[in-house]
Chains A and B, each alone.
Chain A
């Protein structure tokens, strides 16, 4: 007598398990994103999506491609290491379409004070002034060339 003669119900039950496992595999195939696990326990495509975010600060090399006259002045002065967009703001739109996006000239009375206002908290070697005493509220560019601000280095206007 075969030992499996009375075991049909066990095979049917096991078949159910196999079927459920197959359904699980099919569902998982459709539910889990294709790139999940590409690099680790996460969606690999998320990295590419993050890299696709639009750039708003063009970067000084882009600016210097066209504004070579400014670069020539700036690289000899005290602001040689200050990048264009540190003062002028995000201008990738201008770099992409120079004709229709025209940058607004910053107000030097406000802009320069942001860095150069006297404060005991700032590093001692950093050039600082009390704007009210130094210029009585006049815009800094009245006397200084913002691209090369030192008075003794030919920067004065």
Chain B
């Protein structure tokens, strides 16, 4: 190939620009999505949850979650007058196939769907020795499966028990807040399939998101606030007995 000096001078900067874009890594799948415009969380409306298990099944389908492990699960609390401190909690197979029928009984029942709280100051990301788990600029706590060693330090560090070691990949695995969906303008699989609207994806950086009005007008709580994790899963009407 014969290249004149003039052509070479034109080609070289073009090649440099192309090489720079190669070095920048894999471009994101959604070109219109800007991470700095979002700060994701979730709202869970306890009085609306009927314990059908749709969210658990949808999550397992959407994210290929192995059997016996859960990125989200539902717990049923039974609090009696005699024992307000240690209520009976059940979650058969994560509530995936619903719950056994409860006969009319003393005390109160309610369902508590649980998932990763996508904490702003998460203990799990702080303990990772290799930088394999982190919070993205849009507020999603994620695991990099190519970097994770499977040491399970983060599994122990999570105060909410939201992480597990994937039995085949042998790396830490957890809720990604359906990152592949929310970056395309869809809601998460659990919110999409929740029949009563008990789970709602919220974007705290979007001034038009109804969450702002909701937080002002309802008694909303996060799990284990004393841990100061900056949890972003908000529970409406959460009972004091929930741990």
Residues of A within 8 A of B (CB): 33-36, 38-57, 59-60, 79, 81-83, 85-87, 89-90, 114-115, 117-123, 126
Contacts and interface: CB of A to CB of B under 8 A. Distances in A.
Nearest to A38: B25
B192 A35 contact: no
Interface stretch (B7-15, B51-59, B209-217, B221-229): B51-59
A89 B58 CA distance: 8
B66 interface: no
B18 interface: no
Contact of A114 (B27, B52, B103, B181): B52
Given A45-B26, A48-B27, A82 B103 contact: no
Contacts of A81: 195-197
Secondary structure of the B side of the interface?
A: loop
A102 B181 CA distance: 23
A53 B61 CA distance: 12
A51 B62 contact: no
A55 B26 contact: no
Interface size class of B (residues with CB under 8 A): 35 or more
B34 to A, nearest CB: 13
B123 to A, nearest CB: 16
6 contacts: A35-B26, A39-B134, A42-B133, A43-B147, A57-B61, A86-B192
Contacts of B101: 117-119
Given A33-B25, A39-B137, A119-B102, 7 more contacts: A42-B144, A53-B63, A53-B179, A57-B181, A59-B181, A83-B192, A117-B98
B132 interface: yes
B109 interface: yes
Contact of A120 (B98, B102, B189, B192): B102
B193 interface: yes
B242 interface: no
B26 A86 contact: no
Interface string B80-124: 000000000000000000110111110001110000000000000
A62 B63 CA distance: 20
A35 B144 CA distance: 12
A50 B58 contact: no
A123 B47 contact: yes
A117 B100 CA distance: 10
10 tightest A-B CB contacts, nearest first: A35-B25, A121-B109, A45-B25, A46-B144, A53-B180, A42-B134, A121-B102, A120-B102, A48-B26, A86-B193
Nearest to B136: A47
B16 to A, nearest CB: 15
Contacts of B151: none
A43 B179 CA distance: 16
Nearest to A49: B26
Contacts of B61: 56-57, 89-90
